[in-house]
Amino acid sequence: MKKLLLLTALLGMFALPAAQAGQKEDDAAIHQRHDEWTAAWNKHDAKLMASFWVADGDLINPFGRQAHGQAEIERLFTEEQTGMLAGTTYSGTIESIRYLAKNVAVVDVAGEISGMKGPDGTMAPPFKHHVTWIAEKKDGKWMAVCTRVAVPLPPPAPAK
């Protein structure tokens, strides 16, 4: 029994650092992927943007529009990037990464879009939003399986 406990403790000492090292590498790869996504947005390249999703991935944008599959996602981005989001700049900060499995993670991002113009052409304030994406590591690259964008609203006024 003592030998079994000792063996378990020794295995734990070696397995934990290896797992943590692997997670740090994946964290870095997800951060790199996010930087690549930001660059694609800022180039306004809808095809490149859509390539960040798996073939059957899906997206719900902050306005509730849904797109399924890379072709629909590309169409959505094309319309956005040539319409109300033309010339905008995206920035974001990864707030958390939670691994559900070795090759699956939930990534939460605080995002901001600058340079949007209102219908009358006046500059709108930065559009702050929250992005949650389920990422899957495929062929060594982190890809979006599904992405949801939420816009924080102020809480309702208390009842009088």
Measure the CA–CA gap between 113 and 131, rounded to whole angstroms: 12
The pLDDT tens digits for 95-108 are: 999 999 999 999 99
Parallel, antiparallel or unpaired: strands 141-150 and 104-114: unpaired
Which range (18-22, 87-91, 110-114) has the least confidence?
18-22
Measure the CA–CA gap between 29 and 23, rounded to whole angstroms: 10
The CA-based angle 116-146-117, given to 5 degrees, is 5
pLDDT tier for residue 160 given thresholds of 50, 70 and 90? confident
Indicate the pTM of the whole model: 0.82
Domains of the chain plus CATH, in order, are 2-150 (3.10.450.50)
Q: What is the pLDDT of residue 13?
A: 52
